Amino acid sequence: MQHSPLIAVIDDKSVRESLLDLLEVFRYSAVTFSSAREYLVSPRLTDADCLLLDISMPEMNGVELYNELRRRKNQIPAVFMTGHAQHTVINEAKRAGTCLFKPFTSNDLRSALETAVNS
């Protein structure tokens, strides 16, 4: 069965590139975006098995992006990641999907993605 790619929206270039390499090791096809705005105007908006969203991004954080996608009737499951965020934003992310706290292990990421993709 052919899977759609994972979509990673992460503003930090080095984190984005490292995660892309790790996702390839996990044998996931992935497409990355540097901002919520870049993703929202892309043709890949509904073409994904899972979203990997950084919570702390300028302009629109990962939870705001997730809520905007839901408003647009996009039901792609999400895994959120954060190194620091406000308690209320973290709670909202946990209600919406899995929330990983940096630094997390590759096994933590793989497990969260497998759960989201298979949900």
Residues 103-117: tens digit of each pLDDT: 899 999 999 999 999
pLDDT at 90: 76
Neighbours of 94 (CB within 10 A): 12
Question: Of the ranges 1-15, 22-36, 41-55, 88-102, which one carries the lowest mean pLDDT score?
Answer: 88-102
In a domain, 62, yes or no: yes
In a domain, 1, yes or no: no
Residue 3 has pLDDT above 70, yes or no: no
Residue 92 has pLDDT above 90, yes or no: no
Q: What is the DSSP letter of 4?
A: P
Instruction: Compute the distance between CA of residue 35 and CA of residue 109 in angstroms, rounded to an integer.
Output: 20
Q: Which residues are 52's β-sheet partners?
A: 8, 79
Average of per-residue pLDDT across 39-55: 91
The number of folded domains in the chain is 1
pLDDT at 1: 44
Its domain, for residue 65, covers: 6-117
Neighbours of 93 (CB within 10 A): 24
pLDDT at 9: 97
In a domain, 55, yes or no: yes
Higher pLDDT, 84 or 5: 5
Structure tokens at 68: 């905007």
CATH number at residue 111: 3.40.50.2300
Q: What share of the chain is helix, strand, coil (3-state, %, to 5)?
A: 40, 20, 40
In a domain, 46, yes or no: yes
In a domain, 81, yes or no: yes
